[in-house]
Structure 1
Amino acid sequence: MTHQYQLKNGIRIIMEEMPSYRSVSIGVWVRAGSMYENAANNGMAHVIEHMLFKGTARRNAADIANEMTAIGGNMDAFTCKDCTCYYAKTLDIYAKDALDILGDMICNSLFDEKELKKELGVVLEEIDMYEDSPEDLVHEHLQMEVWKDHPLGYLISGQKEVVSGFDREQLMAFFEKYYVGKNIVISVAGHFEKEQMLEWIREYFEEIPAGDAADPGKAPEFSTVLWKKEKDIEQNHICLAFDCCSSLSEERYVMTVANNIFGGNMNSRLFMKIRDEMGMTYAIYSYGSSFEQAGLFQIYAAMQPSQTKEVVDAIFSEIDNIIKNGVTQKELDIAIQQIQAELILGNESSYNRMSGLGKSLLIREEVIPLEEELKKIQQVTVEDVQAFFKKYIQKERCGISIVGNVTYDQEEL
């Protein structure tokens, strides 16, 4: 059972007690991600995530790391397009200590100029690391191209030439705008006493200014593109993207089932046909990238450059097959069983529960009970899956990115 509260500054709190556990997971979710940036500050949310670990008035970077390690806990953070999350998982007896550290980081970080200069070097190295990864490049740059000039298409890490010029004043302006009560959700799952936990959260977070809620803005326009990057590597990496439903749409349940059948696992059509039967690629899969304004259905594969066109043709052949003939009831039943098992097993982790509760409340403004999610999945029909492909997965409305030894034009693919 979950419990929700709201502090006087607008911070929303959601808790789920799991009495049989000895652990507790705590997450601070902030509406601060690359979709709230512009061309001049793209990458700033990610840099701020790094800087919150670099020292406060009470702790330097080593203190933060050492104190968390001393209580046997794990603390980390990540930045997405639509949010940033700072989280800790530890034993129940150290929950207050973990909250103290998280609260200190969120409320009292110094953004020291010397530390910022050093950390920008680390972030630029991280950007280079992604540039060296063709699989990362082919996914992220396709989103950038199909949602061209819209913040939802921005790289989370930002561009080196922009990030390298950030200063403390710019970071503080962004931080003070978005790290406010109306943009924050704190989620807790595991073993704790809810009234005591609420008291601690008030102690560490209630002085944050209320501020104004972040505006996600207008939905992006989808563009059909062919983006190519020459890279002297052994394989070609390709990604296909189709305009699709948002994370708020009821169609997301159909997309989950359709993805499972088509390319979401080892018994999917793409894997069985193109990898196992045809032997043309080692890695091939599909997935959804959904946000509150828009979404994409994406397909990835890596293959020998000489087989690029053949693999793309085979992918579209599988798409055409579903559009014309649909899927079988057996495929649907297996997919639903698999998705339900994943949802149920995922809910047996305090971290997964904390994560699901926090992001759902932050982005959807509600938490959907597991039983309702399972019911929505069960209600998907073979007709729904076929209609989904007919509506969204159309060859003429496809964006394509290729990284590798590229010699192909849009018409050839």
Structure 2
Amino acid sequence: RCMSTKGDVGYAQALLNIPETQVSTLDNGLRVASENSGLHTWHGSEQVGLWIDAGSRYENEKNNGTAHFLEHMAFKRERPDPHAFPFHNHQCHRRALLWPIPIVCLCLRAGVCVVSGLDLELERERGVILREMQEVETNMQEVVFDYLHATAYQGTALGRTILGPTKNIKSIARGDLVDYISTHYKGPRMVLSAHAGIRHDELVQLAQKHLGNLPFQYEGDEVPVLPICRFTGSEILVRDDKMPLAHVALAVESVGWPEADTIPLMVANTLIGNWDRSYGGGANLSSKLAQTLAQKSVCHSYQSFNTCYSDTGLWGTYMVCDSMGIEETIHWVQAEWMRLCTSVTDSEVTRAKNLLKTNMLLQLDG
């Protein structure tokens, strides 16, 4: 109890040392948020990101895959070149940087404004994406989660893959990418964030210089609206007797990031945990489900997941087991879900909360 109190005091003191987050809005609606860490750029602790409210969620059947194609075209290089974007992941533009902040802002502007010159690399990247699709199709976990989304959100944007169908990849042209940029890359849909040794007013000036001329008005009715993705309780079964193991995903509808239940579901996800036959421990594993499956020997591995979107989500478990052990594995997974509702102990919840906080802090280190 004494050690627990000391830990709480230390945690409270650590929170006091976190720099204040300052937020400003440019004339074109682009928001600038920063925390001054007090460290200079040569310490290599700077993180700068440009976040855009866009992606495959705003696509339809005809242009599905355009956002991913644009990622390959504009966001693949990693050098401080004014014609290249310094991050290759369109989902998460964040990385520890060693470049001066002005160069970073210049690269961010180049990534947003990249329209000219797309024809030169269009066909090459088309081939790269088709090869990427082939690689994804050999990853059974990726395939299962694509099927899971296809049935859980059938007929909606979340039911489609990020890469898009093959026919779309082969037909996407420069005009499609230009239309996507002109529709979504507007000032009010962007946030420039930084955790660095730079004053907020300096970052605002750099943002105004390099990103202040981005458009903020829409023409006609082109304002993109986030489509509703309804959840449909259903199942999809794909039988292939040549496969040595069965890959199964079992999920229920979860909540979006802004909801109050997000954190409790993250704790529940940590309680379920993950396990593989190669792990030691057996009955001494921390997860009750892992203990059960290790003793029953009906499952090769499992992994709990909590996938959150802006307004919905999927919470569940991914399992790999023998074809004859599917029903028993699902039985024990569902039994553990029910145990969380009725008889989970306070000590288990405390352990899961501490582990969750540890994992979140480790992720902050990149």
If the length of structure 2 is used for normalisation, what is the TM-score? 0.82
Amino acid at match of 2:253: D
CA distance in structure 2 between the partners assigned to 1:53 and 1:209 by the alignment: 20
Alpha-carbon distance change, 5 to 227 in structure 1, aligned in 2, over 3 angstroms: farther
Q: Give yes or no for the alignment of 1:314 onto 2:332.
A: yes
Q: Give yes or no for the alignment of 1:245 onto 2:251.
A: no
Partner of 1:41: 63
CA distance in structure 1 between the partners assigned to 2:255 and 2:79 by the alignment: 44
* Secondary structure at the counterpart of residue 261 of structure 1: helix
* Secondary structure at the counterpart of residue 237 of structure 1: strand
Size of the aligned set, in residue pairs, is 328
Cα shift at 1:290: 1.5
Within 5 Å, give how 1:117-128 maps onto structure 2: 117-128=123-134
* Secondary structure at the counterpart of residue 118 of structure 1: helix
Q: Give yes or no for the alignment of 1:184 onto 2:190.
A: yes
| Greater mean alpha carbon deviation, residues 287-296 or residues 40-49 | 287-296
Partner of 2:206: 200
* Secondary structure at the counterpart of residue 228 of structure 1: coil
Of 233, 237, 262, which residue of structure 1 is paired with 2:272?
262
* Secondary structure at the counterpart of residue 259 of structure 1: helix
Partner of 1:175: 181
Amino acid at match of 1:77: H
Alpha-carbon distance change, 233 to 190 in structure 1, aligned in 2, over 3 angstroms: farther
Alpha-carbon distance change, 227 to 182 in structure 1, aligned in 2, over 3 angstroms: farther
Of 284, 291, 295, which residue of structure 2 is paired with 1:277?
295
Cα shift at 1:50: 1.1
Amino acid at match of 1:78: N
Amino acid at match of 2:226: P
Cα shift at 1:255: 0.7
Amino acid at match of 1:76: F
Within 5 Å, give how 1:125-164 maps onto structure 2: 125-164=131-170
Within 5 Å, give how 1:339-378 maps onto structure 2: 339-347=356-364, 349=365
Partner of 1:411: none
Partner of 1:2: 21
* Secondary structure at the counterpart of residue 282 of structure 1: strand
Alpha-carbon distance change, 4 to 219 in structure 1, aligned in 2, over 3 angstroms: same
* Secondary structure at the counterpart of residue 89 of structure 2: strand
Of 283, 287, 310, which residue of structure 2 is paired with 1:292?
310
Cα shift at 1:176: 0.6
Alpha-carbon distance change, 206 to 88 in structure 1, aligned in 2, over 3 angstroms: farther
Deviating 4+ runs (over 6 angstroms): none
* Secondary structure at the counterpart of residue 299 of structure 2: coil
Partner of 1:303: 321
* Secondary structure at the counterpart of residue 249 of structure 1: coil
Q: Give yes or no for the alignment of 1:90 onto 2:97.
A: yes
Alpha-carbon distance change, 110 to 229 in structure 1, aligned in 2, over 3 angstroms: farther
CA distance in structure 1 between the partners assigned to 2:299 and 2:123 by the alignment: 43
Cα shift at 1:271: 2.3
CA distance in structure 1 between the partners assigned to 2:64 and 2:38 by the alignment: 42
Cα shift at 1:86: 3.4
Identity %: 21
* Secondary structure at the counterpart of residue 175 of structure 1: helix
Amino acid at match of 1:251: D
* Alpha-carbon contact 1:53-1:105 (below 8 Å) kept: yes
* Alpha-carbon contact 1:111-1:168 (below 8 Å) kept: no
* Alpha-carbon contact 2:265-2:306 (below 8 Å) kept: yes
Cα shift at 1:251: 1.0
CA distance in structure 1 between the partners assigned to 2:264 and 2:183 by the alignment: 37
Partner of 2:89: 78
Cα shift at 1:260: 1.3
Of 322, 336, 345, which residue of structure 1 is paired with 2:353?
336
Structure 1 unaligned blocks of 5 or more: 55-63, 69-73, 352-413
Cα shift at 1:43: 0.8
Alpha-carbon distance change, 124 to 118 in structure 1, aligned in 2, over 3 angstroms: same
Write out per-residue CA displacement over residues 359-393 of structure 1, whole angstroms, 9 at most, x where no aligned residue. xxxxxxxxxxxxxxxxxxxxxxxxxxxxxxxxxxx
Cα shift at 1:222: 2.0
